[in-house]
Structure 1
Amino acid sequence: MNQRIFNLFKLNALITIILLSTSCSNNDSDPCANSTLAVTATVEEYSIKATVTGGVEPYEYSIDGTTFQTSDTFTDVESGDYTLTVRDANTCTSTTSVTEADLNSLLDERDGQRYKIVKIGNQIWLGENFNFDTNITTTTSSWCYGDEATNCNTYGKLYTWEAASQLAPEGWKLPTQGDWQVLFNEVGGINVAHTELMNGDFELLTTGYRSVTNEYYESPQWGYYWSSTEDSTDNNTYYCYGFHPDYGEVREFSALKDKVAFGVRLIKIQNN
């Protein structure tokens, strides 16, 4: 700070004027020059959640660079690549990239596996077979087809119904018979569903199955998948669905929950 004193004499009176001046750097005039504002994104299941450090609150958020909101979370985001921007009270900004692959995925935090997800109609499904390595109590309840670990990388695990009904990560579930039927109707009906679901983004696979005697059958001809719905006409049996690339329609049947192991596709629990 510089101080300059000027003495003015007028009518025998001394008037002292003190002028104060400050020197400013470029950084003082630009509050963002040394800003520590930073943003990271947690991305999955068509949602984006921002985590911010530094800067000056309050923060605002945008995924299109134009429209900002005060909430740090974006839900029901359309598939695509985005740039997440945070803006603080000084209008400083920070950005991070969001990829379509991460947006269209589910991260199972129990084992770190990330699964593709697909939206069909109003439903959100796994776009690949589940592959969580789980066994309930002391009983083996999940297997790789033919006891070959590499088959799990392709087809996912085969599960007993008991295991399949318990393994879903939070917010997901084994689909009901009704969930499957809604899916079939959405892609054109049960007569064409096998073609649409095996050849489209759903990528349904021919898993085969495992019998209670530890024998494996029908891969790569058929894919078998559990539902959570019990067949009321036959105790301890649950509805299942069989898919064959050349068969005329989806095969619906019921199977004993502890006698066979089938593949699993999970569906997201949604609040209507």
Structure 2
Amino acid sequence: MNKKTTIHILSLILFTTITFIRCSKEDDEINLNPQAGQSFLNIENERYTVTLNAEEPPEGQEGIWRVYSGQHYELGNEKDPKSTFSGMPGEMYRLGWEVSQGKEYKAETITVSFKPLNASITTNVGDTLFNNVSIELEAEAAKFGTIGHWDIISGDGGRIEHADNHIAQFIGKEGTDYELSWRLVYYSPVDSTFKVEDVKSIALHTDTLRADAGEDRRYIRNKVEDEIKYTALEGFLPAGANGQWNLIEGEGGLVYMSQHATSLFEGQAMEDYFLTWTVELDGYTSTDTVNIHFRDKWGLFVDERDGQHYHTVELNGLEWFAENFNYYQAPNEYAWSFYYGQASQAYIRDGYAVETEADRKYYGRLYNYPAAYEWAPEGWRIPTLQEIKDLVEILGGENRAMPKLVDGGETGLDLVFGGLLSYSGNHVENKDFFFDQGKIGYLWTDSFNPDTYGCKLMFFDHYNSVTQEVSALYQTCSVRYVRDIKSEE
């Protein structure tokens, strides 16, 4: 073998060796690609736990979870890419999914954070518990493993029933200042001595206990044909108190559940019922009274200025007085009223002077237009001419309508033939002229004409009605008011 051949052989050997070494190094190179999955931010769920979502490493590599920051946590299985992870409300954690092969490793990080606790009191409490020494407390309920509790921070003699429930009852002493709190607590999953909490508080002042039986209700509707009438009572039962209904006046009344503030009550139409509602709480006792009245064909209105009662009836979308107005107010220079035949210069052409209580209740007083307009009870008004015409029309026209509208007619409006007064204005040379009692009825309509100082009257008898403009000042007649139909009073 010559020298040249030897050099060539050695070169081939060297090239082959270098190529083998290079291939061996490439075969030994490690590819690490950890996939930790998504982060979990501001999580609020049961036990403040998430399921991690890393990818399983390829064969020959190993994965493990590391917690780089954050305290009081619990990791289900550090080698499981889908491990559970539990932490604390309000805490933020930084986790890494580390993938390794041999001595080589690489990690990808994610963030897990949990919402902080947020205690919230939903009870709307003013500065003072007016007419009361107790209140039902309500907060947003403890959830996701938290524990809630009510406490009295300050104030003497108070107590809280069901303090571990988000709905509780506070009972205090009269005329005392209190501060109350609702506290949420969450304990560490790995250390029961460690906890996080949030507290909200309210301040209040107790008053004197006063029972509340609800508003008087003298306008309760049931079906007219129902012999027995029903309504739900509207008493108020203070938190922690006991209550008792008692019927003190009225025939045929029945309280179904006498210890329930909103018990069903049974009664009869056109009967006035008076009930007491008595509440007792920690030695304090108070009683309130309520008036209940069921309407039949007629409702009942009470003029609070003088306590007079008036039957009312509902016709064509309006509620009408079913009795003539009978309210007295001292006259002034332009508004006055009289009973029929009772003026100082009276001349009675028809009928007789209205003197007895029964006659005055039946006929009512006669008013000039300013008095009728200004002295109406609150919420009531004089009917318009069109409203009267519409009522007559829906009842079949004049010949058919009037028998239904006058006293004893089927509508219950019971119009009365109260007559008319032409007033002298105290001019001694003139008479106060009363006429048509028992023959014709007269009613004011809301049709005042400021140019003529006149107003239209409705004249009616058993079969007909007409209208005519007269002096708004010197003619006086009966008044029937109307108002929009109310649901209940």
Say whether the fold is shared (TM-score over 0.5). yes
**Pairs within 5 Å for 1:78-227:** 98-100=292-294, 104-138=299-333, 141-147=336-342, 148-150=354-356, 151-198=359-406, 199-200=408-409, 201-213=412-424, 214-227=432-445
CA contact 1:191–1:250 (8 Å) conserved in 2: no
TM-score (norm. length: structure 2):
0.38
Determine which structure has greater relative contact order: mean sequence separation of CA pairs < 8 Å that are 6+ residues apart, divided by chain length: 1
For residues 315 and 332 of structure 2, the distance between their equivalents in structure 1, rounded to whole angstroms, comes to 35
CA contact 1:42–1:50 (8 Å) conserved in 2: no
Aligned match of 1:16: none
Amino acid across the alignment from 2:362: T
Shift of 1:176: 1.0
Aligned match of 2:458: 241
Shift of 1:208: 0.3
Amino acid across the alignment from 2:365: K
Q: Deviations over 1:230-260 (max 9, x none)?
A: 359x722211111112xx4212211110121
Aligned match of 1:44: 218
User: 1:100–1:162: structure 2 CA closer, same or farther, 3 Å change rule?
Assistant: same
For residues 400 and 300 of structure 2, the distance between their equivalents in structure 1, rounded to whole angstroms, comes to 26
Q: Deviations over 1:75-131 (max 9, x none)?
A: xxxx787999x9x9xxxxxx9783325981111000000100101131110111000
> SS state of the match for residue 39, structure 1?
coil
For residues 65 and 82 of structure 1, the distance between their equivalents in structure 2, rounded to whole angstroms, comes to 18
User: 1:81–1:142: structure 2 CA closer, same or farther, 3 Å change rule?
Assistant: closer
Amino acid across the alignment from 2:414: E
CA contact 2:219–2:294 (8 Å) conserved in 1: no
Q: Deviations over 1:114-168 (max 9, x none)?
A: 1001011311101110000124424561000111333422200000011111111
CA contact 2:444–2:477 (8 Å) conserved in 1: yes
Aligned match of 1:258: 473
In structure 1, list runs of 5 or more residues that go unmatched: 1-35, 59-63, 72-78, 89-94
For residues 471 and 240 of structure 2, the distance between their equivalents in structure 1, rounded to whole angstroms, comes to 58
Please tell me whether Structure 1 or Structure 2 has the larger radius of gyration of its CA atoms: 2
> SS state of the match for residue 314, structure 2?
strand
TM-score (norm. length: structure 1):
0.65
Amino acid across the alignment from 2:216: T
CA contact 1:39–1:51 (8 Å) conserved in 2: yes
In structure 2, list runs of 5 or more residues that go unmatched: 1-209, 222-230, 242-254, 263-268, 280-288, 343-353, 425-431
CA contact 1:120–1:186 (8 Å) conserved in 2: no
User: 1:238–1:45: structure 2 CA closer, same or farther, 3 Å change rule?
Assistant: farther
Question: Number of paired residues?
Answer: 223
Greater alpha carbon shift after TM alignment, 133-142 vs 204-213: 133-142
Amino acid across the alignment from 1:255: V
**Pairs within 5 Å for 1:20-59:** 39=213, 42-46=216-220, 52=235, 54-56=237-239
User: 1:264–1:54: structure 2 CA closer, same or farther, 3 Å change rule?
Assistant: same
Give the share of equivalent positions with the same residue, in percent: 24
For residues 389 and 374 of structure 2, the distance between their equivalents in structure 1, rounded to whole angstroms, comes to 22
RMSD: 4.4
CA contact 1:135–1:163 (8 Å) conserved in 2: no
